[in-house]
Amino acid sequence: MISAVSAVRQVTDEKDWDGYVALAPDGHLLQSYRWGELKARYGWSVDRFVVETANGMAAAQVLWRRTPLGPLAYVPRGPAMTDPAAAGPLVEGIHEVARARKAILLKIEPNDLDPSPWPTLGFKPSHLTFQPKATLMVDLISDLETIRALQHPKWRYNTGLARRRGVTIRRGSSEDLPVFYELSEITGARDAFGTRSLSYYRDLMNVLGFQAELLLAEHDGEVLAGILIATFNQEAIYLYGASGDHKRNLMPNHLLQWEAMRDIHDRGFVRYDLWGVPNEISALARNGAMGEDLPEPREGERGDLWGVYRFKRGFGGRLQLYAGAYDYVYNPAAYWLWEKALPLARRVLKRGRHTAAD
């Protein structure tokens, strides 16, 4: 028998943890056990906290990272909650650990448009985000013909063109990652965004295991393009894409995305997250906008990822906005320096990452 609010406890078992996160309809990949294990290979440590109530639960995978100013505590795309009343006890438990470790702040980026209950729990809105502020989400509940009808006519044509010209799609393995990496370097240089190392792609596939999938587009035995997607709960996420400069007229990227949607639809997933759009789009469009309602920035306002956004927009997804980032400050002086130093570091590095929780 569960009391009104049980004590905060930490979870160490993968099956138990993912079971809690999956209870929430929007329980996200970035809160999954294996995502935490992946981040643990790249400078983060991980704790997983849960509170249960008579009406549900709240669970948060907290990533910790050392900085010159002190530790940072971070909850990407979470917490996962089925009872909002559990949020208060949950963060109190995290605060106890964070204060003991002398953390600067606890940053959360909810997987939700609604900012509640964070302001009432002492969190302040932050303009510094690690995750995209908005994404394009393709709903997969309908039949394939309905999903296809929402795409731009030119995108449907390009998919058929790729097939007619002999482009084929196959599932890749870790042995295909070197060619995917080479294509990603070409893509990053062409579209002006940062890329990951070959070792990171290997770790992602090895650690995520069955949750990670590599799809490749080929023509006459030559790999032209690839995408890395990850699945969790009811959702598939397009994390990385790569394509070369050769035979782009065969439209391999259009066929890749459509075949990915067909496959995950047939396997019962209900959403395909195209993973982020430029920040200026989130400021121009209303939540749920799609098709012709999605904005097109003027020429001078288009950022580095304009071409990526234009490609994603053609697949008929709806715009999903997020509440943004919220910070709970433990050390005001160090936090002030953090607020000043991080934007400067980002401008110097100018990395423009496509994915999350570095």
Burial 295-306 (b: 16+ CB within 10 A, else e): beeeeeeeeebb
- In a domain? residue 2: no
Do 315 and 190 lie in one domain? The reply is yes
Cα(134)–Cα(25) distance, integer angstroms: 18
Do 171 and 146 lie in one domain? The reply is yes
Do 298 and 342 lie in one domain? The reply is no
State residue 349's pLDDT score: 46
- In a domain? residue 357: no
Do 186 and 285 lie in one domain? The reply is yes
Cα(10)–Cα(65) distance, integer angstroms: 18
Do 314 and 328 lie in one domain? The reply is no
* CATH code, domain carrying 291: 3.40.630.30
Q: How many domains is the chain partitioned into structurally?
A: 2
**Taking the alpha carbons of 86, 90, 93, 95 in that order, is the dihedral positive or negative?**
negative
Q: pLDDT tens track of the chain, all 358 residues? A: 344 567 899 999 999 999 999 999 889 999 999 999 999 999 999 999 999 999 999 999 999 999 999 999 999 999 999 999 999 999 999 999 999 999 999 999 999 988 889 999 999 999 899 999 999 999 999 999 999 999 999 999 999 999 999 999 999 999 999 999 999 999 888 877 778 999 999 999 999 999 999 999 999 999 999 999 999 999 999 999 999 998 999 999 999 999 999 999 999 999 999 998 887 777 777 788 887 788 776 665 555 567 788 899 999 999 999 999 999 999 999 999 988 877 766 555 444 444 444 5
**Nearest alpha-carbon partner for 148 in 353, 13, 316:** 316
Whole-structure pTM value: 0.91
State residue 342's pLDDT score: 73
* 87: enclosing H helix or E strand: helix 87-100
Do 98 and 203 lie in one domain? The reply is no
Do 49 and 148 lie in one domain? The reply is no
Do 174 and 285 lie in one domain? The reply is yes
**Segments forming the whole domain that contains residue 171:** 134-320
Do 33 and 169 lie in one domain? The reply is no
Q: Can you tell me which residue has the tokens 């715009």?
A: 319
Do 167 and 78 lie in one domain? The reply is no
Do 284 and 303 lie in one domain? The reply is yes
Long-range contact set of residues 313-316: C-beta below 8 Å, sequence gap at least 24? 313/136, 313/152, 313/277, 314/151, 314/152, 314/154, 314/155, 315/136, 315/138, 315/151, 315/152, 315/155, 315/257, 315/258, 315/261, 315/274, 316/138, 316/147, 316/150, 316/151, 316/152, 316/290, 316/291
State residue 30's pLDDT score: 98
Do 180 and 297 lie in one domain? The reply is yes
Cα(270)–Cα(267) distance, integer angstroms: 9
- In a domain? residue 155: yes
- In a domain? residue 354: no
